[in-house]
Structure formats: structure tokens, C-alpha cells
Amino acid sequence: MGLIVLAFLTFTLSSCTYTLKSLVLSTQNYENLSQRDREVVEDFVEETNLEPPDERELMPYIRYYLNRKKYLLKVLERAKRFMPVVKEELRRCGLPEDLAYLPVIESAYNPYAISKHGAVGLWQFKEETARRFGLRVDFFTDERYDVRKSTRAACRYLKYLYKLFGSWELALAAYNCGEGCVMRRVRGNFWEERHKLPEETRKYVVKFIALLIVVKNHLHYEP
């Protein structure tokens, strides 16, 4: 059984330093993934200290995206216009650049997207959260539609969530369903307690990692 050991890493996020623990990825759990697919998972785990999901959970979402290549390529083509700004802001905040693919799930990279729940823009902010993280939302102006300003707010929000929960699994879950929901329902490890979260949130992290695999390896996307 081959083991891939990911070394200790340290990076600075604003004034706080985050130490990434040593992680072990068992290749036994990824025997049906290609080497290149495993490397995408490993790179993301190394960058975020996120506990890797089981291959059995990843495969259905990999197939889901591969079966929708035409749609996904259309979304990624639209993303090219905005991706440089998004990655620039993520780098400026010291956040993992792969988070630039979250809007693929959130809004299909449409800055004018409006959800049935009233979330708006690339990052799908609701009014209250948008105002909390510095966006102007009133009768005259709605900065949720502004790509750069909303991305800066999303970076502040993601940074806040990571500092609050101390893990990217819980931070991403909280981005999906709100920090209050996660705080009320999860007391420890995301993977062990995610059954307590809404169904969409339970799948969110796995779906995101599957998206990275498809975009980077199967579509060879270069923004």
C-alpha cells in the first residue's frame, strides 16, 4: 500500500500564521483515479490542510461534470474574463488560488446571477452578509454585481470563516449554508458530523474537489 506523505508547510494569512499539519494520502483509497487526478487532490490538500474525501464519493461528481462538458466549458469560457481579477484578490489575501473555482458552483461565473433565495452576483451574497463584509447594498447601488468588490468581500468572508473554524472543510461548508448553521450542528470533524448539515452542504466540499479534478486534468483549462 503506497503512502504519499505531504510535508509540514507554513504560510502567512494577513497577520496570522497557519501551519499545515503533515497529512497522509493512502493510494489505496484512490486506486480508480489516475495519477494526475490524485495529484490534483494532493495539491489541494497540501495547500489547504483539507482532509481528502473518499474516492467513492468523488467519482459520482467527476462523472457528473464529465457528462456536462459542454456546459462546463461554456462556464469556464465566461470565467476567463473574470478569473484574473479573482485570482489577484485571492493572492492579495493569502488565500488558496483554487478557491477561484468556487464561483463555477456558486453562480456559473455569472456576475448578474440571482438565486431563488435572493443571493446575488459571482459569489452569491445575500444582503446581510454582503453588508457585513463591506459591500454597499441599497436602493441606489448593489456592489454584489461588481466583480472586484464582491471578490474582495468574498475573500474577507472566506478568511473570516477559516479563522473561525480552523479548517477549510468547515469554512467551505459555512460559505454554503452560513456559519451559524455550521456552529449549531458541527462540534468537531466535518467528515464525521456532516450528516447533521443540509444535504447540499454535505456534498459541497466533495463536489468542489471533483470540479478541480475535471477542470485541471480532463478539460486542461488554463484561465
Residues 89, 174: Cα–Cα separation, whole Å: 20
> Which residue do the cell numbers 497529512 mark?
23
Between the alpha carbon of residue 91 and those of residues 64, 71, 135, the distances in Å are 30, 28, 20
- The number of helices, as runs of H, and strands, as runs of E, in the chain is 11, 4
Q: Do residues 106 and 124 lie in contact, with contact meaning Cβ atoms separated by under 8 Å?
A: yes
User: Is residue 106 flagged as an active site residue?
Assistant: yes
Q: Do residues 62 and 213 lie in contact, with contact meaning Cβ atoms separated by under 8 Å?
A: yes
Residue 3: phi and psi, rounded to 5, are -125, 135
What is the dihedral sign for C-alpha 174, 175, 179, 181?
A: negative
What would the grid cell of residue 132 be?
457585513
Classify residue 8 by burial, with Cβ atoms within 10 Å: 0-12, 13-18, 19+.
exposed
What would the grid cell of residue 2 be?
503506497
Residues 49, 167: Cα–Cα separation, whole Å: 7
Catalytic site residue from 47, 55, 89, 106: 106
Q: Which residues have a catalytic role annotated?
A: 106
